[in-house]
Structure 1
Amino acid sequence: MSLIKFMVAGERVEGAGQPFRSVNPATGETNYEVSGASKADVASCVEMAATAATSLQWRNLKPHQRASLLHRIADGMMSRAEDLAITQSRENGKVIAESRKQVSNAAAVFRYYAAACETVGGELTPSRGDYLSMTTYEPYGVVAAVTPWNSPLTMEAQKVAPALAAGNAIILKPSEVTPTVAILLAEIAQAAGVPAGIVNVLTGTGRETGLELIRHPKVRMISFTGGTATGKLIAQTAAERLIPCALELGGKSPHIIFADADLEAALDAVQDGIFEGSGQSCVAGSRLFVQRSILDEVIARLQDRVKRIQVGMPFDPDSRMGPIASFQHRETIERFVASARDEGGEILAGGKRPDDRELEKGAFYLPTLITGLSGGARVCREEIFGPVLVILPFDHEDDLVAQANDTDYGLACGLWTPDVTRAMRVARQIDAGTVWINTYKQLSVSTPFGGFKSSGLGREKGLAGLRLYQQSKSIYLGGMSI
């Protein structure tokens, strides 16, 4: 069986840590073994990244030169688009059409931050004497980026591109479920001319590899996307070390339909918002709030729609939902649904594995609708990260806002009504970093993204996403009469 090696300073490295298997969730078969990075491997990688980050070759690059590198990475991604898409779908089960779309989106992230390199500068600040004062923005040095398994193509691009644009070196620690996309991205960066040691990848477990990485004294900033529990542990480590961290964490996003909504458009968005990617999305609209006067109609129409969702193999062009990304995570989803039954919930659709014998070896799970629960039920409060939608009624705006905000999370929200005044009024009252009105899951690299409450700290994307990887410096030039 082939062994996948990780990437340090432009070289493939076989680590001294525990190797692990990459498993295809659609078939249960082993894709390959992956090398694990030990404590010594982490230390060696960080040292090389720190040297590269401070080298004149990297630090003295002009903005337009750094922009050219980012454009060449984007070109390289598109030239290997099918390889990247297939790799992601093989490792996490995402349907191939979605993976292909994510390659294009990831390349666009590099192009956006290439443009930012050439257009975003420092500032001259108003002086209060005979001097010139200014603010410049400097890189941190070595950035550790820990990424999740649900959409590594886009998540890794959203960290690597701004970190490089800001002038840092970066070390990616991808999920054990999806270890290979990051390695391919590092290869593409090297081929684009990025100096050795600037883009590195360490594979391994969170305990053996990830923990050593974020604790290393020469790692000066941490960027993490993943579960809230892990995010809190990373925040504790960052606080102890007095270094900044960016955390894009979990969600329990409310999706709201008022009685006057365009139901067909709203239901399209509800369906995609929870079942695209098998519900494995931080912004999945997992709590559907429906105005009581249309509740029965919405439930009936959703039941009909869910029955027609094609669950199948990731590379089948007719498939609209692939498997859950791992067998372990499918068991977690099954426990959540069992808890809903125990608490008196009614399973209106799904709630089990498919009966199709062709899918029985994979980690498949049917799209699931649940009703009959209060907002205090476990499936209404905890992030399931799967294709499970809980339907809850509301009577009026105050009732809705109270229910929607009754959660530890605050990542996203969607609401449907043609009444713009009401839409804006409710949007302002919802505790969420992103609110969609008469649309859902529209994301732009130019618009900052992040969460309130336990959904995270900091903002990725946009110019805020560039500044995330920089620290400001004030410079005073004396003897200037202005």
Structure 2
Amino acid sequence: MSTSTQTPEGQKPLLIGGEWIVAPGAGFASVNPATGQTNYLISAATAEHVEAAVSSAWQAVRQKAWRDMLPHQRAALLRRIADGIDANAQVLARLQMIENGKVWSECTAQVASAAATFRYYAGVCESVTAEVTPPRGNYLSLTQYEPYGVVVAITPWNSPLTMEAQKVAPALAAGNAVILKPSEVTSSPALELGRIALEAGLPPGILNVVTGLGSGAGKLLVEHPGVRMVSFTGGTASGRAIARIAADKLMPVALELGGKSPHIVCADADLDAAVEGVIGGIFEGSGQSCVAGSRLFVQRSIQQAFLEKLLARAQSIRVDQPDAQGAGMGPIASFAHREKIESMVASAVKEGGEILTGGCRPDADHLAAGAYYLPTVIGSLKPDAYAVREEIFGPVLCALPFDDEDDLIAQANDSVYGLASGIWTADYRRAWRVARHLEAGSVWINTYKQLSISTPFGGFKQSGIGREKGVSGLRLYQQSKGIYFAM
């Protein structure tokens, strides 16, 4: 553990203006969901800390050294942060693992992804161009892109390493100062990223890390008049609350919210490949993913054969301590969230659902103290069942049949969400037709969760506003300005 991000008393401090500050009071506990034991205490920011973070961010972003830094110089800084992430890969992966319970292989992969994201935006930073626009008179006109100034990035607990990189890297590349507010469940990776950024030479105050509850520090940051833009990834209800505050402030926001993604298997699909895609799409990360393929639509003529293969594969997943060799699924990220999942499964049974596999906690003695839950598949539900319509955010798959293309598209789009979707078929004409008709920000064909930092990502409908990743992910943190030269 880095000594700069933990005090001798064991309480992790805030990072404000390049200084590590322990908030008064006992803070709040980080609990290891694999064991139920407390990892350490984390400082909870007060209104005074929020004020200090915003003030230090504005002071830093107005400094000539940052404001006038050339793109290739800013890119070099981002690359040094990426190198620091690589150098601290084991520390970062372990912090995520003990805070949200992801298996070790996923944690290490997400560290590598975070470093790659900083390198990608280093490349974008020094290569992206502004535009000279077609004149309509005797003048030269061009578009210049400039930072908002101080932006707040609020990240979720399910994949903090990747989510923080996907917000901080482009926001810094765009020239902003960033106040990073991580989930109270997974605060440490953000603090460690702050330390790495300082050691890489990022000016103090350009990246501040403010920990605390969403209803406390998070709300104060969003409401603060000095915050010019907010980027949030998390639940739809929280996204709505942020949007209401932003509306009063006339402040732009980026919201990446919930999902209830349809995962479609047609009769002509490679069933073995589809099984692996469906399994990874819902049980990777214990199903705690915004793009989880949680609604399975299988063409009726093959439904029984496909479900037999799927259930056998689901039952083969090893649920174990996240650092156990061969573990395929670790615990749910918190005990409170496991209870929510259990209540959703109970509602499914009450509405006529049949538990085809799972639906309970594992009975292994060495897992009894942790927040574990078995991979679960539920059949016999109607499309309007609560568990089919609402995001469970756990390892729970609802299986439904479809008859033809029209029936499929109607069912798949019958949701307030529209984040992602997947199609398995040998007919690429069908794949194209269905993909064009699905109301989703991402469509995977004969694959699932194939993500790229270079491809814009976001949702339709209540799954969000704005697009992260890609060049548009940098422009998200900038505002355009028209400049005219008389000729």
Deviations 1:449-477 (A, max 9, x none): 00000000000000010000000000011
**Equivalent residue, structure 1, for 2:6:** none
C-alpha separation in 2, matches of 1:436 and 1:292:
21
C-alpha separation in 1, matches of 2:135 and 2:285:
53
Give 1:252-267 correspondences, 5 Å limit.
Answer: 252-267=260-275
C-alpha separation in 2, matches of 1:257 and 1:299:
11
**Equivalent residue, structure 2, for 1:116:** 124
Give the AA of the match of 1:212.
L
**Equivalent residue, structure 2, for 1:84:** 92
Residues 16 and 41 in structure 1, CA contact (< 8 A), matched pair in contact too: no
C-alpha displacement of 1:393: 0.2
C-alpha separation in 1, matches of 2:192 and 2:219:
23
C-alpha separation in 1, matches of 2:330 and 2:136:
62
C-alpha displacement of 1:55: 1.0
**Equivalent residue, structure 2, for 1:167:** 175
Tell me, yes or no, if structure 1 residue 450 matches structure 2 residue 458. yes
**Equivalent residue, structure 1, for 2:143:** 135
Give the AA of the match of 2:36.
G
Deviating above 6 A after TM superposition, structure 1's stretches of 4 or more consecutive aligned residues are: none
**Equivalent residue, structure 1, for 2:134:** 126
Residues 18 and 204 in structure 1, CA contact (< 8 A), matched pair in contact too: no
C-alpha displacement of 1:9: 1.3
Pick aligned residue for 1:369 from 341, 352, 377? 377
Give the TM-score normalised by the residue count of structure 2: 0.98
Give 1:199-238 correspondences, 5 Å limit.
Answer: 199-238=207-246
Tell me, yes or no, if structure 1 residue 197 matches structure 2 residue 178. no
Unaligned regions of 5+ residues in structure 2, if any? Answer: 1-8
C-alpha separation in 2, matches of 1:317 and 1:164:
37
SS in 2 for 1:219: coil
Tell me, yes or no, if structure 1 residue 23 matches structure 2 residue 31. yes
C-alpha displacement of 1:152: 0.1
Residues 5 and 13 in structure 1, CA contact (< 8 A), matched pair in contact too: yes
**Equivalent residue, structure 1, for 2:402:** 394
**Equivalent residue, structure 1, for 2:485:** 477
Unaligned regions of 5+ residues in structure 1, if any? Answer: none
Residues 285 and 413 in structure 1, CA contact (< 8 A), matched pair in contact too: yes
SS in 2 for 1:36: coil
C-alpha separation in 1, matches of 2:77 and 2:326:
38
Give the AA of the match of 1:75.
D
**Equivalent residue, structure 1, for 2:70:** 62
C-alpha displacement of 1:16: 3.7
Give the AA of the match of 1:63.
P
**Equivalent residue, structure 2, for 1:431:** 439
**Equivalent residue, structure 2, for 1:272:** 280
Give the TM-score normalised by the residue count of structure 1: 0.99
Residues 288 and 391 in structure 1, CA contact (< 8 A), matched pair in contact too: yes
- Residue identity over aligned pairs, in percent, reads 62
Deviations 1:233-282 (A, max 9, x none): 10111111001000000000000000000000000000000000000000
SS in 1 for 2:34: coil
Give the AA of the match of 1:474.
G
Residues 121 and 136 in structure 1, CA contact (< 8 A), matched pair in contact too: no
**Equivalent residue, structure 2, for 1:148:** 156
Residues 50 and 141 in structure 1, CA contact (< 8 A), matched pair in contact too: yes
What's the C-alpha RMSD, in Å, of the aligned pairs? 0.7
C-alpha separation in 1, matches of 2:316 and 2:426:
28
Tell me, yes or no, if structure 1 residue 292 matches structure 2 residue 300. yes
Pick aligned residue for 2:327 from 319, 332, 339? 319
Deviations 1:46-83 (A, max 9, x none): 01101111111100100000000000000000000000
C-alpha separation in 2, matches of 1:217 and 1:282:
30
Deviations 1:380-436 (A, max 9, x none): 000000000000000000000000000000000000111011110000000000000
**Equivalent residue, structure 2, for 1:94:** 102
C-alpha separation in 1, matches of 2:462 and 2:137:
44
Tell me, yes or no, if structure 1 residue 468 matches structure 2 residue 476. yes
Residues 26 and 41 in structure 2, CA contact (< 8 A), matched pair in contact too: no
